[in-house]
Chain A
Amino acid sequence: MEKKAIRVAYGEAIVKLGEKNDKVVVLDADLAAATMTNGFKKAYPDRFYDCGIAEANMVDMAAGMSTMGLIPFCSTFAVFAGRSYDQIRNGVCYPNFNVKFGFSHAGITLGEDGGSHQAIEDIAIMRVLPNMTVFVPSDATECYKCVEAAAEIDGPVFIRTARLPSPVYEERPFTVGKGNVIKDGKDCVIFTCGIMLEHCLEAVQILADNGIDAALVSHHTLKPFDEELTREYAAKCGKVFTVEEHSIIGGLGDAVASSLCGMGLKHFEKIGINDEFGQSGKPADLLKAYGLTGAQIAERVMKA
């Protein structure tokens, strides 16, 4: 299967978008070679603004530029969502300015740089902001669609992307705020987002080999959240699991949990980063250390 890093897809998608829409400008904070905005920089040098290592100023500059009718896309590492949070909150979301955030290198699969750089809280802090739309694409194809959709939305949008190459799946339908059923099932349902889709697919196969018919639902939009589909599959399957490369506090798990409040489910379990920071290591080793491989996910489902 073809593999492509979602951040690479992001870089390609903004170049395509730039072709169609001359209002699109791109801002980066000295990480263009990592966030992959360097493609845009090359294609449209007069629409690319390096802000230097000053993420907070990048966000408010983008806010100001949006008032001139431009559509700024800002990029940096997802961990710096925290560093520029006041600017995202008061500078962009409070006045509902038309600024997009394509933040890369999210989660522990950032790997070797270690816990200081591994965002495990970005989804939580973005979901809680009024006016913000939150996308967590699960593959390159979905990322292209998230970028296109972001340009159509008149307001702030956050797109979380990952560092490592991950599988590119067959094209799926894409509607903002609508989850996708990847596999139907009746014994339990797994909700996931982002690159954990790959590991959940592996888990579902292991479960099938063990006679468990698990449904798998992928949410590319964490806000607005598809509560209807979530409730439908929880009601149908009874046992619910959530899997994310993010803290189990405030991310997908909690979005699912608040959708299912009062349903009296047989079982509900959040699988993710258990309120702790990451650390240096090879991404594959880290996924194992934090219990996020397909085999480990399947094991937790079978134990429940």
Chain B
Amino acid sequence: MDIQQLQSICRQVRRNIITMTSKAGAGHPGGSLSATEAFVALYFDVMKGVDPQDDKNPTRDRFVLSKGHAAPGLYGTLCERGFFGREAFDKFRQYGGILQGHPDIKKCPGVDASTGSLGQGISIAVGMALGAKHTGNPCHVYTIIGDGESQEGLVWEASMAAAHYKLDNLTVIFDHNGMQIDGTNDEVMSLGDVGAKWRAFGYDVIEVADGNDMQQVLDALHAPACPGKPRLIHLHTLKGKGVSYMEGQVGWHGKAPNAEQAEAALKELEG
């Protein structure tokens, strides 16, 4: 698939994010839009063995959305990949729907772990990568964590283990949009030198200057593994990317657009 096609899918995933959060009147568009290129790159180009007809294929690459609140981004991508139809968006966050407020492995096809309690996804991903090594499973494990999420101590417990067990079959994608619920990272709890911290924990770190540039994201995800080391891909992204009135706005972390705002956003995302 060429880059134009992938970019086109990103636009559709962004439309899905707007559609489902607007319909639900709730959800987290900001951090879903910032990670859209990462979702699409993973599910349409990078991950091996992704098959909507066989979503339990044991050797498929795994994906854990550690920042589980970015579920609209994951659902929007899984839908385009063929795991379910767009009609599922009508019941996003609603009673009886497969698209729960946060990803639920028991309800949503294509989801590899139930997440939402921050810090846990990366820890589960570390266990998957270790389990894969133990059983000789050739799969690779990917997880996306949030910048604010890295304030959780569990992220660092998991990272110490990832390096200790030399999990070079693990890629952690750090969505650094710089914002969280109560303000910027620096206002809430400064993250310091992100790359240096992860390197100090034993990761091979790849910096991506523009994490919303598909080519840059692909280059990082396709970089050859560093034997014996887990990988961190540090994506510098824009919160709310693609919807001008949401871009760089803390307020759109966990707020849904109303009908009028949604219409404007969908218009902006045409083509």
Query: Chain A: residues with CB nearer than 8 A to chain B?
Result: 25, 47, 49, 51-52, 54, 56-57, 60-70, 86-87, 90-91, 94-96
Contacts and interface: CB of A to CB of B under 8 A. Distances in A.
Contact of B126 (A57, A66, A87): A57
Contacts of B114: 90, 94-95
B128 A90 contact: no
A97 to B, nearest CB: 9
10 contacts: A56-B157, A57-B160, A60-B123, A64-B125, A67-B62, A67-B112, A69-B58, A70-B135, A87-B154, A91-B117
Contacts of A63: 113, 123-124, 127
Given A57-B154, A61-B161, A87-B123, A69 B106 contact: no
A26 B153 CA distance: 23
Given A87-B120, A90-B116, A91-B123, A64 B154 contact: no
A60 B113 CA distance: 11
B123 to A, nearest CB: 3
Nearest to B128: A64
B137 interface: yes
Given A64-B126, A86-B120, A91-B124, 5 more contacts: A67-B112, A68-B128, A91-B123, A95-B113, A95-B114
Given A68-B135, A90-B114, A57 B130 contact: no
B134 A70 contact: yes
Interface string B116-157: 110010011111111110110100000000000000011001
Contacts, number: 99
Contacts of A49: 130, 165
Contacts of A67: 62, 112-113, 124, 127-128, 131
A61 B120 CA distance: 9
Given A63-B127, A87-B120, A95-B114, A68 B137 contact: yes
A90 B165 CA distance: 24
Contacts of B35: none
B106 A96 contact: yes
How many chain B residues sit at the interface, stated as a range, is: 20 to 34
Given A49-B130, A64-B130, A70-B134, A57 B161 contact: yes
Given A49-B130, A67-B113, A61 B123 contact: yes
A68 B158 CA distance: 18
A220 B128 CA distance: 32
Given A54-B160, A95-B105, A60 B120 contact: yes
A52 B160 contact: yes
A25 B133 CA distance: 13
Contacts of A56: 123, 153-154, 157
Contact of B124 (A51, A52, A60, A86): A60
A52 B165 CA distance: 12
A64 B161 CA distance: 13
